[in-house]
Chains A and B, each alone.
Chain A
């Protein structure tokens, strides 16, 4: 039970990857807070059913007031914040197309949710971490930032921005003993996700470990970065993609 009574926020906790993180933290004793623009109620129920502690709340991470309310409510219920996982992202419903046809509104939405949202959550959580002189922030990037996948320039760019943001945050927070790291997942075939089988086969072939990536493949790394085992690691990019990209 590495996270007994730790307070862990997982933004986008209602999604499938968010759920995988949430279940794993809960299984190791953490109290998990699952803000989501949609609902994370089902994940909360799953955790409570197995005897764990979880709360969900509606939150728009791109909105400072909404984020602050969410963080303060988490602290009110759980006492503090030990770990923040910036997992929420504008992704599943992004508009796809060449960048020269993308509208400013669409571009701004990805940057607002994925980049500003991660910063706002960190901004709101950090005072509590500073107070206890300890904390872990994990920004979830994507290896599309390493590959430069075409046709969603806003998403790719936003995920690259997180890698740089992690580094600057790590330097700003080092004196408070707060570690900030990035996890970069490969293409995850979440439960029930419809993917083109031919393309998925190509992706598997590009990996050292030639199989589809699933959400639970990420859990170990996220928990490691949240645990004392990684206390001297900060500002780093941990790429979990079955050995496709080497950074």
Chain B
């Protein structure tokens, strides 16, 4: 039980990947908070049904006030914040188009949720981590930032921004013994997701491990970065994509 009684926030905890992280943490004893703009109630229920501790709450990560009340509420209920997983993202319903046809509102939305949102959650969690002299922040980027996925320039750009933000945050919070790292997932075929079979086959062929990536493939790395095993690793990009991209 590596995370016994640890307080873990997983933004976007109601989504399928968020759920996989949440279950992974809960199984190892963590109390998990699952802010989501949609509802994470079914995930919280699944965790409580297996005897764990979980809360869900409505939160718009792009909004500072919403984030602050979410984090304060988590700290109140769980007694602090040990781990923050910035997983929430504007992604599933992005409007896809060539960048020269994209509207400013659409572009701004991706940056507000994915970039500003991750910063705001870190900003609000930092005082609690500072107080306990320890903390782990994990920013979820995407392989699209490495390969330049097409027709959603805002999403790709926002995910690249997180890689740089991680590095600057790592330097700013190192003195407080807080580690900040990025996890970069490949193309994940979450349960029930409809994908173009040709696109998926192409993704698989590009990997060293030639199979479809699923949400559980990410859990081990996120838990590793949240655990004391990675205490001297900060500012890094951990790319979990079955060996499609090699970075550095």
CB pair A223–B232 under 8 Å, yes or no, is no
CB pair B220–A170 under 8 Å, yes or no, is no
CB pair B238–A238 under 8 Å, yes or no, is yes
A76 to B160 Cα, complex, angstroms: 49
The bracket for how many chain B residues form the interface is 35 or more
Judged by a CB distance under 8 angstroms, whether A177 is at the interface is yes
Find the B residue at minimum CB distance from A183.
B233
Judged by a CB distance under 8 angstroms, whether B167 is at the interface is yes
Per-position 1/0 for A143-179, Cβ under 8 A of B: 0001000000000000000010001001101110101
B213 CB, min distance to chain A CBs, angstroms: 6
Find the A residue at minimum CB distance from B230.
A220
CB pair A221–B233 under 8 Å, yes or no, is yes
CB pair A232–B232 under 8 Å, yes or no, is no
The bracket for how many chain A residues form the interface is 35 or more
**With A231-B220, A243-B179 given, can you name 4 additional A-B contacts, CB distance below 8 Å?**
A210-B175, A224-B229, A233-B239, A234-B209
CB pair A224–B224 under 8 Å, yes or no, is yes
| Chain A residues closer than 8 Å to B173, beta-carbon distance | 208
B210-244 residues at the A interface, CB under 8 angstroms: 210, 213, 217-221, 223-224, 227-243
Contacts from A to B (Cβ < 8 Å) = 146, 163, 167, 170-171, 173-175, 177, 179, 207-210, 213, 217-221, 223-224, 227-243, 246-247
CB pair A220–B228 under 8 Å, yes or no, is yes
Given contacts A210-B174, A220-B227, contact A233 B240 (CB under 8 A): yes
A237 to B209 Cα, complex, angstroms: 16
CB pair A232–B242 under 8 Å, yes or no, is yes
Interface majority SS (helix, strand, loop, mixed), chain A:
mixed
List the 4 closest pairs (A to B, CB-CB), nearest first. A220-B229, A229-B220, A247-B248, A208-B174
| Chain B residues closer than 8 Å to A240, beta-carbon distance | 232-233
CB pair A234–B243 under 8 Å, yes or no, is yes
A81 CB, min distance to chain B CBs, angstroms: 20
Find the A residue at minimum CB distance from B234.
A243
A170 CB, min distance to chain B CBs, angstroms: 4
